């Protein structure tokens, strides 16, 4: 079996490829990578999410690192990926590993590697780790050390990662302003690792947090997967429709993504949510600097960039691309369609918790609810509609579908003329009326994703239908 890292780490089905043996192989590759670069003495920090056996897999990584005489910092509870990443940076560790499949369904688990800067590993680093993986022999020959013994001799330390992160994130926004804004906030952590964080941050003020699906549950019941998009947020939408709450926030399995529901129970797309946050950074917080966005992110960001005279830079999908550019350009923010947004002064990585705080800070300053904020945005930049359609496929059909997409001549899609194309990540069709379509293979699941943005919902629907016919032929 070949272990390959996708958009953000290696993910596989637990019943098939994601096994203790394969996790040991990944862990040994990380140890080899660290040792060859003299990073080992700074230690490896390890975290995990709420999935089946994630703690077991995390301890497996710790045993391998200890067996390689690399100091280990092991989280003592499930932990959001951004929480682990910030602890990595603040403790100046050599690297980090998070056992998580993020937003994938319950059958999956994953192995995320974090370099010293705390973001997603760049394609260059991933290629190096995959090269180490290819040269590792049988898992049973990998050196290990029992957790208890490593702890006894001072090679392993267990930590609660929450305080370090909470103290830092409280400085990233005006927390007192949010706490005392009198907001009624509904939070759906989707049975994932982000549970209780917003409630802890809001303690002591007039703002009130009610939590839904806050219990850790590896079955992720009543949802297709713990991804905070409309089809998975029924309980939060129903709650908002029947209450007088001001906003609904949702985080995915490892809390690096944000979903947003307005006061009437309407889902606000990830593209509009990031646009609201960027408008907040540029106007209310008067920040200046580039904004980085993936090819799947809205053209609204380009309009905001023009209005505020800041550069907007596109990258392929994934923070393994956005993060390094964010650091190089000293950008104020970076965002992708998945609902993952990163911010200057923090880590070059998605953070669903900080993203939620940014929305709350925007509401606290403006004293507007989400629907009014969206209306205000549309008055400034125009109306944009967006949708995404996922199509599953068999791996044996990948090459055939790739060829079909590449061979198709696109002159128009959904009655809109094709102006230009971009094949950096899938096939993006830039259309007239500032619209676009994208056909790309997911880097984390066996899915072909079709994205579309246009001035009307009818145009978006036609674009997706046209692209779907090509993919499904």
Domain residue extents for the chain: 10-164, 184-381, 385-472
**Tokens standing for residue 244:** 């007088």
Is residue 366 left, alpha or beta, with left meaning phi > 0 and alpha meaning psi from -120 to 50? alpha
Q: pLDDT-based confidence at 1, cuts 50/70/90?
A: low
CA dihedral 280, 227, 397, 124 (to 10 degrees): 60
Averaged pLDDT of the chain: 95
Q: Identify the top-confidence range among 7-11, 148-152, 402-406.
A: 148-152
Q: Kindly report the backbone phi and psi dihedral angles of residue 325, in degrees, each rounded to the nearest multiple of 5, phi listed first.
A: -65, -40
Burial class (CB in 10 A: 0-12, 13-18, 19+), 148: exposed
For residue 344, the SS3 value is coil
Using CA atoms, how far residue 267 sits from 140, 249, 293, in Å, is 49, 10, 21
Chain segment 305-324, per-residue pLDDT in tens: 999 999 999 999 999 999 99
Of 416, 457, 443, nearest in space to 295 by CA? 443
For residue 113, the SS3 value is strand
Q: Kindly report the backbone phi and psi dihedral angles of residue 183, in degrees, each rounded to the nearest multiple of 5, phi listed first.
A: -80, 140
Predicted pLDDT at 15: 83
Q: What is the CATH number of domain 184-381?
A: 3.40.120.10
Residues 6+ positions from 118 with CB-CB distance below 8 Å:
85, 86, 88, 89, 96, 347, 348, 349
d(CA 251, CA 253): 7
d(CA 64, CA 72): 10
pLDDT higher than threshold 80 for residue 443: no
Of 290, 338, 344, nearest in space to 314 by CA? 290
**Domains 10-164 and 385-472 equal at CATH topology level:** no
Predicted pLDDT at 6: 75
Q: Give the ranges where 280-351 is alpha helix by DSSP (H).
A: 300-308, 319-329
Predicted pLDDT at 162: 98
**Tokens standing for residue 102:** 């993020």
The model's pTM: 0.94
**Tokens standing for residue 38:** 């003299």
Using CA atoms, how far residue 298 sits from 65, 282, 383, in Å, is 42, 17, 12
Find where tokens 């190089």 sit: 328
Q: pLDDT-based confidence at 350, cuts 50/70/90?
A: very high
Predicted pLDDT at 8: 77
Element (H, E) at 358: helix 352-366
Predicted pLDDT at 470: 84
Q: Under a CB-based contact definition with an 8 Å cutoff, are residues 8 and 120 in contact?
A: yes
- Read off the pLDDT of each residue in 194-217 and give the average, rounded to a whole number: 97
Of residues 40 and 445, more confidently modeled = 40
DSSP string, 227-267: --SGGG-HHHHHHHHTS--SEEEEE-TTS--EEEE-TTSPE
The percentage of the chain sitting over the pLDDT mark of 70, rounded to a whole number, equals 100
Q: pLDDT-based confidence at 254, cuts 50/70/90?
A: very high
Chain segment 327-343, per-residue pLDDT in tens: 999 999 999 999 999 99
The CATH fold of domain 385-472: TATA-Binding Protein (3.30.310)
Predicted pLDDT at 297: 96
Using CA atoms, how far residue 21 sits from 28, 148, 388, in Å, is 11, 20, 36
The domain defined by 10-164 carries CATH number 3.40.120.10: yes
């Amino acid at each position: 079996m070949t272990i390959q890292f996708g958009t953000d780490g290696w993910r596989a089905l637990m019943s098939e490829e994601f096994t203790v043996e394969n996790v040991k192989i990944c862990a040994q590759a990380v140890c080899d990578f660290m040792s060859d670069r003299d990073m080992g003495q700074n230690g490896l920090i390890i975290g995990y999410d709420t999935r089946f056996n994630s703690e077991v897999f995390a301890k497996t990584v710790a045993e391998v690192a200890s067996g390689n005489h690399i100091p280990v910092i092991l989280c003592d509870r499930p932990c959001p990926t951004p929480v682990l990443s910030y602890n990595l940076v603040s403790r100046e560790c050599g690297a980090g590993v998070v056992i998580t499949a993020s937003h994938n369904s319950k059958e999956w688990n994953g192995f995320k590697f974090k370099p010293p800067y705390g973001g997603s590993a760049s394609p260059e680093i991933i290629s190096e780790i995959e090269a180490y993986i290819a040269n590792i022999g049988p898992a049973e020959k990998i050196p290990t050390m029992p957790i208890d013994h490593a702890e006894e001799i001072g090679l392993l330390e267990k930590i609660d990662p929450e305080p370090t992160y909470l103290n830092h994130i409280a400085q990233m926004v005006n927390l007192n302003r949010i706490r005392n804004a009198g907001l009624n906030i509904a939070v759906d952590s989707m049975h994932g690792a982000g549970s209780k964080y917003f409630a802890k941050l809001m303690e002591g003020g007039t703002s009130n947090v009610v939590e839904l699906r806050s219990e850790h549950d590896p079955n992720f019941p009543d949802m297709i997967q713990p991804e905070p998009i409309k089809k998975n947020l029924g309980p939060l939408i129903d709650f908002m429709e029947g209450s007088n709450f001001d906003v609904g926030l949702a985080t995915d399995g490892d809390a690096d993504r944000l979903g947003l529901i307005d006061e009437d129970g309407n889902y606000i797309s990830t593209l509009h949510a990031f646009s609201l946050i960027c408008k907040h950074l540029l106007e209310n917080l008067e920040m200046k600097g580039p904004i980085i966005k993936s090819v799947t992110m809205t053209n609204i960001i380009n309009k905001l960039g023009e209005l505020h005279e800041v550069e907007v830079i596109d990258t392929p999908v994934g923070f393994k691309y956005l993060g390094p550019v964010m650091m190089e350009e000293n950008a104020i923010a970076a965002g992708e369609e998945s609902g993952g947004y990163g911010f200057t002064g923090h880590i070059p990585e998605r953070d669903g918790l900080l993203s939620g705080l940014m929305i709350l800070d925007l509401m606290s300053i403006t004293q507007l609810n989400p629907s009014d904020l969206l209306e205000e945005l549309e008055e400034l930049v125009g109306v944009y509609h967006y949708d995404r359609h996922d199509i599953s496929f068999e791996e044996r059909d990948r090459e055939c579908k790739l060829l079909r997409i590449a061979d198709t001549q696109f002159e128009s899609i959904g009655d809109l003329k094709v102006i230009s194309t971009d094949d950096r990540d899938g096939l993006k069709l830039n259309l007239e009326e500032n619209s676009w379509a994208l056909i790309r293979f997911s880097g984390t699941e066996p899915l072909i994703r079709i994205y579309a943005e246009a001035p009307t919902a009818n145009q978006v629907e036609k674009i997706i239908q046209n692209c779907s016919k090509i993919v499904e032929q």
